[in-house]
Structure 1
Amino acid sequence: MAKILVVDDAAFMRMMLKEMLAKGGHQVVGEAANGAEAVEQYRKLVPDLVTMDITMPVMEGIEAVRLIKQEHPNAKIIMCSAMGQQGMVVEAIQAGARDFVIKPFQPERVLEAVMKVLG
Structure 2
Amino acid sequence: MTHRVLLGESSRFMRQLFHKTLEPLAMNIVGEAATQADLFTAFETHGPDLVIIDVSIGGGGAEAAQHLLDTHPEAKIILCASQSRLPEARAAQAWGVREVLQKPFHPEKLQEMAIQVLMS
| Cα displacement (A) at 1:3 | 0.5
Residue 32 of structure 1 and its aligned partner are, at CA, apart by 0.5
Give the secondary structure class of the aligned counterpart of 1:85.
helix
Runs of 4+ in 1 over 4 A off after TM superposition: none
Give the C-alpha shift of residue 51 in structure 1: 0.6
CA RMSD, Structure 1 to Structure 2 (Å): 1.2
Q: 1:56 corresponds to which letter in structure 2? A: I
TM-score (normalizing by structure 1): 0.92
Q: Counterparts in 2 of 1:1-119, with a 5 A limit?
A: 1-57=2-58, 59-119=59-119
Contact 1:69–1:96 (8 Å) recurs in 2: yes
Question: % of aligned pairs identical?
Answer: 31
Q: CA deviation at 1:90?
A: 1.9
Asked if the contact 1:62–1:95 (Cα under 8 Å) also holds between the matched residues in 2, the reply is: no
Match of 2:8, as an amino acid?
A: V
Q: TM-score, normalised by structure 2?
A: 0.91
Measured after TM superposition, the shift of residue 93 of structure 1 is 1.0
Structure 1 residue 66, shift from structure 2 partner: 1.3
Q: Which amino acid aligns with 2:36?
A: G
In 2, the alpha carbon distance for the partners of 1:36 and 1:105 equals 26
Provide Cα deviations, 1:30-73, integer angstroms capped at 9, x if missing partner: 1101222111111111100001000122x101111111112211
CA–CA distance in 2 between the matches of 1:28 and 1:85? Answer: 25
What runs of 5+ residues in structure 2 fail to find an aligned partner? none
CA–CA separation in structure 2 for the residues paired with 1:37 and 1:95: 21
